Structure 1
Amino acid sequence: MSILISGASIAGLTAAQRFSARGAEVTVVERAPALRRNGAPIDVRGTALDVAADMGIRDTLAAHETGAAQRSAFTHIVDDNGERVGALPTELPQDSPDDLEIFRNDLIDVLHASIGPNVTFVYGDSIQEVTDTGDAVEVRFASGRAGRYELLVGADGIHSNTRRLVFGPEDRYRRHLGVYYGILSLPAELGSDGEAYLYSVPGRSVLIGDYPERTYGGFLFLSPEIAYDYHDIEQQRQLVFDTYSAVQGWKVAELLDALKQSEDFYLDSASQVHMDRWSRGRVVLLGDAAFAPSFFSGRGTPLAMIGADVLAREWATCDGDLGQAFGRYEQAMRPQVHRAQEGVPQARDRVIPATREAIEARNRQWPPVR
């Protein structure tokens, strides 16, 4: 029997490579019709670099580095007219001198290219029913197909379908942090100087980050939980238009124009996932499905890669005792997850102050860098 991985993002792709490298027959099922490559720059840091080296991709990742070392260490805060009124430190404390910043689409492509031909990818399908018989996991898919697997790895993100089917409703585990964020690529002329800029009004911010080869933008806004279709991009686009319709300052109008044409727009809740256990029977969760720290932490990608490596290693050495493998996986990962999830509210409040007074206080605390 083989291993089924639900989700072809960073956690799922790393797990596919790590399990197959240890002799497993792996199938990856992905709801989207192809790899989802959109997103802002992300960090590969610390122990995740060792995982990349063991996968044979560390040098390739380094070749795709965004050039962050040549950029300012600050995100410049600007007022309505684009004048610099503050500066937030951009970099997290380094885990190692070799930490990398890389665009998400480049990381996805490199991870996918590292996977051998013995891994089967099934796109445009998803798990509909899971039955753990004790000696196998029987899965029925939305397409009507069925399969029988030794192990099911749920690496299908913060809104994990696997978690819902096996562990229960999402609202038991996902904690909304009161923020939504949208990311999209921008025309190069909206950048131009290789720097990052943040503009805030109460409860809403926009970001432009300029890189040598591309420019991206972000919408970040405070909001209680919103009911919307995670797969309906047009509904999500309209949500941002409605939220920013009365915001007039800086380059907000240009960002909204770019949003109308964007083909890679992505919106989601800034959330964390907290679970007492990441496994049940022959089903185990990985990455954001199990322990999302939120994008404010800057550590979701390293945790996904490290977790996939630990899980595959423990599986390969457990002599069939999955309970032992899953226990060791959790023992190794929980301290790292706890550290990543700490301090996120403070980061949120700096990026998206709730009031005009909070914006002014932030700018006084973090004065401009000329």
Structure 2
Amino acid sequence: MKILISGAGAAGLCAAIDLAQAGHTVEVVERANHLRVNGSPIDVRGAAIETARGMGILDAVSEHRITMTEQTMFVDRTGAPVAPLVTQEINDTPDDIELPREDLMNILRQALPGQVDLRFGESVATLADDGDQVAVTFASGREAAYDIVVGADGVHSAVRRLVFGPEREFTEHLGVYVAIGDAPGQATPGNRTTEVLNLPGRFAGVARYRDKALGIFEFRAEPIDYDYHDQAAQKRILTEAFAGVEDWKVPELIKTAQDDPELYFDAIAQIHLPTWHRGRVVLIGDAAHCATPMAGRGTSLALLGAWTLTEELGRHDDLEAAFSAYERRQRPHAEAAQEFARGGVDLVVPATWEAIEERNARLRAAQPL
């Protein structure tokens, strides 16, 4: 079949690899003019490890493995340690390969079969499914028709909006926003300690790996009306959320976030859809079932979803049967990840000083003697 994939993130590139290896003609379009590599390191865990093996990328993934942190320490307003984070609080799977996001994206790009047509600076503008094909008009004005369109374009999926309706109808805001930016001034060779300062409803931290450091921020807020493509607006919102905070390294970290041209900023929000397919259009990854970064499972779900979709397309001549089988297999993984993420907000961004101290006391008590 001739298949269009919207989005060249982990889900889109994994789907391109799997579907092309299965013999399909694959085109991938990506709105950005480059691979999206900004953000914190990611995890390949659980069943996704065997999926990576089947894709032929496990050795490369393992070669780029990092130890993101030797210890995560919550600190007070002076930077003094107050409580270590217990690993069990954030990880329920012992088999876990962590690697920099940029490394994984480059691995996936290099693994693309030669016949995959990857186009940057291109995005879907309209879709028309007549039952036999999907006619697509692109933002560039180009027109083409496909047997299947795969929406792998993330939490703000254009394909989902065009086929299923407005994003707000399927979004559950968990009450938190997150920002991640490079913090080169915080990198020190050999230091893999992550430090986190909590203020009521706010979190500012430094995460270190290899010779890099990231400034990470989270803050509680009701849904904010802004253009998620407008980075100036994102930086303004972040700065306002931490206005007046002079504690620890916060002013310096906010400055580095302002200076980062690739700052990542978004709501911590989940996507819930009653079905992930309609006609000849199907959704995978965050477009279908975003669990939020709190889950730490987005990349693994992307690998699993792309592989499962490809398998079911190979098993069924009928698209409805193939898409339904894909959903039946993938949905339990997605729902488990979404449920796991729900406990992360109170752990990472306690709402009050009392809740912060209660969390810290619980973490101190959980440490082995």
Cα distance in 2 for residues equivalent to 1:94 and 1:356: 28
Cα deviation for residue 214 of structure 1 reads 1.3
> 1:269 deviation in Å?
0.6
Residues 1:90 and 1:263: Cα distance change in structure 2 (over 3 Å): farther
Q: Distance in 1 between matches of 2:108 and 2:206?
A: 27
1:52 is the counterpart of 2:52? yes
Asked if 2 retains the 8 angstrom alpha-carbon contact of 1:190 and 1:215, the reply is yes
> Contact conserved, 1:77 with 1:86, CA < 8 A, in 2?
yes
Quote how far apart the aligned CAs of 1:162 are.
0.3
Q: Please report the TM-score for the alignment, with normalisation by the length of structure 1.
A: 0.95
Residues 161-200 of structure 1: pairs in structure 2 closer than 5 A = 161-190=158-187, 193-200=191-198
Correspondence for 2:258: 260
Residues 1:119 and 2:130 are matched in the alignment: no
Distance in 1 (CA, whole Å) between partners of 2:181 and 2:279 is 39
Question: Does 1:18 find its partner at 2:18?
Answer: yes
What residue number does 2:322 align with?
325
Return the letter of the residue paired with 2:343.
Q
Percent identical residues? 42
How far 1:191 moved relative to its partner?
A: 5.3
Is residue 176–residue 270 contact of structure 1 (8 Å, CA) maintained in 2? yes
User: 2:279 & 2:86 partners in 1: Cα distance?
Assistant: 44
1:4 is paired with a residue of what secondary structure? strand
Q: Does structure 1 residue 239 correspond to structure 2 residue 232?
A: no
Gaps of 5+ in 1: none
Structure 2 residue corresponding to 1:304, chosen from 293, 302, 305: 302
User: Which residue pairs with 2:282 in the alignment?
Assistant: 284
Give the conservation status (yes or no) of the 8 Å contact 1:77–1:87: yes
| d(CA) in 2 for partners of 1:328, 1:96 | 29
Instruction: Mark the runs of 5 or more structure 2 residues left unpaired by the alignment.
Output: none
TM-score of the two chains, using structure 2 as the length reference: 0.95
Contact 2:186 2:206 in 1 (8 A): no
Name the structure 2 match of 1:41: 41
**Residue 153 of structure 2: SS of its match in structure 1?**
coil
TM alignment of 1:78-227, pairs within 5 A? 78-90=75-87, 92-93=90-91, 95-97=93-95, 99-190=96-187, 193-227=191-225
Once the two structures are TM-superposed, the CA of residue 46 in structure 1 deviates from its matched residue by: 1.1
What is the DSSP-based 3-state SS (H/G/I as helix, E as strand, rest coil) of the residue aligned with 1:361?
helix
Which residue identity is paired with 1:9?
G
* Structure 1 position 7 matched with structure 2 position 7: yes
Cα deviation, 1:277-313, whole Å, max 9, x if unaligned, reads 0000000000000011111111111111100000011
CA distance in 1, matches of 2:283, 2:206: 34
**Cα displacement (A) at 1:190:** 5.0
Separation in structure 1 between the aligned mates of residue 207 and residue 188 of structure 2, nearest angstrom: 7
Question: Is residue 154–residue 285 contact of structure 1 (8 Å, CA) maintained in 2?
Answer: yes
2:28 aligned partner: 28
Q: Which residue type is aligned with residue 303 of structure 1?
A: L
For residue 52 of structure 2, what is the amino acid of its counterpart? A
